[in-house]
Structure 1
Amino acid sequence: MPQERRSERRSGREERTAARRPRRGSTGRTAGFAVLYVVGVIGVSILLACLLWIAANDVLALNKDEKEVTITISSEDSFNSIVNRLEDEGLIEYKWLFKLFAAFTGGKDDVTMGTYTLNTDMDYRALLAGMSANSATRSVVDVVIPEGYTLDQIFALLEEKGVATVEELQEAAANHDYAFSFLQDIPLGDYHRLEGYLMPSTYEFYTPHDPVYAINKLLVYFDSMVTDDIRAQVEETGYSLREILTIASMIERETDGSDREEIASVIYNRLEHPEGETVGLLQIDATLAYINGGKVPTEADKAIDSPYNTYMYKGLPPAPIANPGMEAIMAALEPTDTSYFYYALGDDNLHHFFNTYDQLQSFLNSQERYK
């Protein structure tokens, strides 16, 4: 073989070997990149671990100073505003994380209006459960509604106790269509439509309480107390249930507590003997108080032109003037059988009953309170 060709082959092999042999500078850079990558991965891992630990501390309520707070949620509060308050009170640190947890677990949908006692020992799940309808921390209040209270008095009392505002209760009473047969013929639009149906008793409410549910609680009790037997008894009287409640409401507002049946007899005697001395006028002072805003009636009030003015218009007023208790309702169903057409309060703070106007006048002339 010629010397030139052997030289060319040797030269080619050397070039290919040289091409495969890495250069020292390239090897150093590759090793540096590898080290930086490993360091970066480790650093990111450490950072993520730290962040996860910090987040876990908040989610699980770890390492927090002891604190107990009371939070009130109203119907107007958004979930965002509630979360802001939790952060402001120091119950959570990361709003975004709490919102994410609430959305993922469905706990957001369980948060409802009320007053709750929460603390920093409660983790995210406990906080959400603690603001739900079944929360053991939800604040409640007992409210005693006396016999004879009007709707306005009941609503003012419920507002005072933190159940709901007067405006919320009036709106619910006027426009919510409650599913009770005794309300079906009463049109919506005026909150007074429920006058007579909010049964006096002692009730337990959340604070605050959904106004529709609060009113419904009273109506449910009325429905349970006015049984089928009582409704059958109402039907036998020839009066409607609302008319019986109207009579009972006047009895409740007039009675001294011992004479409901006698007052009932006066009302029925006047209703059923329109040709008598009272010519069908009930002349019940409590109806004047209903239209004058609850003040003590005056002679001037007798001239107020209102269908509730029983000095001006004959027969029953158009609806109850208060919310009677069961004793007054039973008195309206079972009045004493008398010939009384009049009664008046004596100096002894008891009502005295009379058959005639002359007997009434003679009694009034004998009493210091009328002189």
Structure 2
Amino acid sequence: MLIAIAVVTVAAVFVFPRVFGGSGEAIEAGQPVNVVIPEGATGDVIAQTLAENHVVEDAGEYYAAVKKLGAEMQLKPGEYRFETLQDPISVVKQLVAGPNVEGVKLTVPEGKTVAQTARIVEEVYGIPADDFTAQAKASNYVADFAFLSEAADDSLEGFLFPKTYTFQGTPTAEQIIRAMLGQFQVDVLDALDFNAGLASIKSRFGVELTAYQLLDLASIVEREGLHAEQRSHVASVFLNRLAGKGDFAGRPYLQSDATLMYVTGGEVTANDIQTIDSPYNSYKNAGLPPTPICSPSAEAISATLNPTDSNDLYFFITQDEEFFSETYDDHQKSWE
């Protein structure tokens, strides 16, 4: 079985009692099987992964082994080679020791689109980029990843979580995509409090967003800001614009070059702003674009969930400087 993981050094996981039933099929002991423990996985996830792969058949024995060895805080994520129906004590000891499988690493940086990710996959594993993008449809995975139910245009844009993954052998496009979606669940949905963040945004800015719309906005914040604090401030600017404050009263346009870059693939000109007729042209279309424009980092998503308190409506950011302004007149002064 070929599964992938996000590469980390050490991560603590906690074990909570829950029993996962077996399939009832006859399993031959001693057969090699590769399993992956994702970064940040709960004890339930670990037990379920081991049970589904028949490394252990009784999750209760696994929990008992963890307790006996006092290993609750010592289990490490990674890719492991086990055997079917292995002794639970030896399984837990290996989880404490750490991953025992080496593989080829795939590093997908923050802020990449599905198309850009496909090209990275092609460079590392030789899977044609067109094959990867053809497989990267939300409808192919929504049955297993409920968070994709909101995805627009059958697009996985925004969901292919940026990280370093390790695969043994040559994975398929589907296996890579499933690994990335699983890591999105762990590093974003399980780690961040969307309900509290969205409620706070509604209260503070008067803007009501769904989780998918928040991801959409975070993808723009990822491309516009350079670090967490700055991205929180950028998020507040866009939320103030969506709320129709100040100069944007009655016209909640994001006016972000980043959304138009999703169409042009590069620099955006004044002519592009005027002539490109696309739902991703946020100078001509109010509100958010139809899908995220890239896969944002967990940092960018967190920054968007926790925007700065400001009345700013403009920003000017370079590698060395940043200027935030409440009025267009002050904004003009930032580059004069």
> What is the TM-score normalised by the length of structure 1?
0.57
Secondary structure in structure 1 of the residue aligned to 2:281: coil
Pair 1:177-2:148 in alignment: no
Secondary structure in structure 2 of the residue aligned to 1:164: coil
Corresponding residue for residue 260 of structure 2: 288
Pick one of 186, 193, 196 that aligns with 2:151. Answer: 186
Pair 1:361-2:325 in alignment: no
Judged with a 3 Å threshold, the aligned counterparts in structure 2 of structure 1 residues 296 and 206 are, in CA distance, closer, same or farther, namely farther
- Structure 2 residue ranges without an equivalent (≥5): 1-31, 33-79, 83-100, 202-207
Corresponding residue for residue 47 of structure 1: none
Cα separation, 1, equivalents of 2:255 and 2:287? 10
Secondary structure in structure 2 of the residue aligned to 1:204: strand
Pick one of 163, 174, 190 that aligns with 1:227. Answer: 190
Cα separation, 2, equivalents of 1:163 and 1:205? 13
Secondary structure in structure 2 of the residue aligned to 1:349: coil
Residue correspondence of structure 1 range 8-47 to structure 2 within 5 A: none
Corresponding residue for residue 143 of structure 1: 106
Secondary structure in structure 1 of the residue aligned to 2:334: helix
Corresponding residue for residue 214 of structure 2: 244
Greater than 6 Å deviation, 4+ residue runs: none
Residue correspondence of structure 1 range 72-87 to structure 2 within 5 A: none
Cα separation, 2, equivalents of 1:171 and 1:291? 19
Cα separation, 2, equivalents of 1:248 and 1:311? 18
Judged with a 3 Å threshold, the aligned counterparts in structure 2 of structure 1 residues 229 and 169 are, in CA distance, closer, same or farther, namely same
Pair 1:304-2:266 in alignment: no
Given that 1:234 and 1:240 are in contact with CA atoms closer than 8 Å, whether structure 2 keeps it comes out as: no
1:122-178 C-alpha deviation (Å, 9 max, x unpaired):
xxxxxxxxxxx969xx98311221111111111111110116221221121125234
Judged with a 3 Å threshold, the aligned counterparts in structure 2 of structure 1 residues 185 and 252 are, in CA distance, closer, same or farther, namely closer
Corresponding residue for residue 212 of structure 1: 174
Secondary structure in structure 1 of the residue aligned to 2:166: strand
> CA offset at residue 252 of structure 1?
0.4
> CA offset at residue 280 of structure 1?
1.3
Judged with a 3 Å threshold, the aligned counterparts in structure 2 of structure 1 residues 164 and 207 are, in CA distance, closer, same or farther, namely farther
Judged with a 3 Å threshold, the aligned counterparts in structure 2 of structure 1 residues 142 and 281 are, in CA distance, closer, same or farther, namely same
Secondary structure in structure 1 of the residue aligned to 2:104: strand
Secondary structure in structure 1 of the residue aligned to 2:136: helix
Letter in 2 for 1:333: L
Secondary structure in structure 2 of the residue aligned to 1:233: helix
1:280-330 C-alpha deviation (Å, 9 max, x unpaired):
11111101110112x111112112111111011011111100100111101
Residue correspondence of structure 1 range 315-334 to structure 2 within 5 A: 315-334=287-306
Pick one of 223, 226, 231 that aligns with 1:253. Answer: 223
Given that 1:176 and 1:212 are in contact with CA atoms closer than 8 Å, whether structure 2 keeps it comes out as: no
Secondary structure in structure 2 of the residue aligned to 1:154: helix
Secondary structure in structure 1 of the residue aligned to 2:167: strand
Cα separation, 1, equivalents of 2:219 and 2:159? 10
Pick one of 155, 159, 176 that aligns with 1:197. Answer: 159
Corresponding residue for residue 165 of structure 1: 128
Corresponding residue for residue 19 of structure 2: none
> CA offset at residue 182 of structure 1?
0.8
Cα separation, 2, equivalents of 1:228 and 1:327? 11
Judged with a 3 Å threshold, the aligned counterparts in structure 2 of structure 1 residues 229 and 252 are, in CA distance, closer, same or farther, namely closer
Larger radius of gyration: 1
> CA offset at residue 351 of structure 1?
2.3
Cα separation, 2, equivalents of 1:165 and 1:207? 16
Higher RCO structure, 1 or 2 (CA under 8 Å, sep 6+): 2
> CA offset at residue 221 of structure 1?
0.5
> What is the TM-score normalised by the length of structure 2?
0.62
Given that 1:143 and 1:158 are in contact with CA atoms closer than 8 Å, whether structure 2 keeps it comes out as: yes
Pick one of 232, 239, 248 that aligns with 1:268. Answer: 239
- The root-mean-square deviation of aligned C-alpha atoms, in Å, is 3.0
1:6-39 C-alpha deviation (Å, 9 max, x unpaired):
xxxxxxxxxxxxxxxxxxxxxxxxxxxxxxxxxx
Pair 1:345-2:317 in alignment: yes
> CA offset at residue 229 of structure 1?
5.6
Letter in 2 for 1:216: R
* Bigger helix share: 1
Given that 1:163 and 1:209 are in contact with CA atoms closer than 8 Å, whether structure 2 keeps it comes out as: no
1:200-255 C-alpha deviation (Å, 9 max, x unpaired):
11111244211111100000010012127623225524311110011110010111
Secondary structure in structure 2 of the residue aligned to 1:194: coil
Letter in 2 for 1:354: S
Given that 1:148 and 1:322 are in contact with CA atoms closer than 8 Å, whether structure 2 keeps it comes out as: yes
1:65-119 C-alpha deviation (Å, 9 max, x unpaired):
xxxxxxxxxxxxxxxxxxxxxxxxxxxxxxxxxxxxxxxxxxxxx9xxxxxxxxx
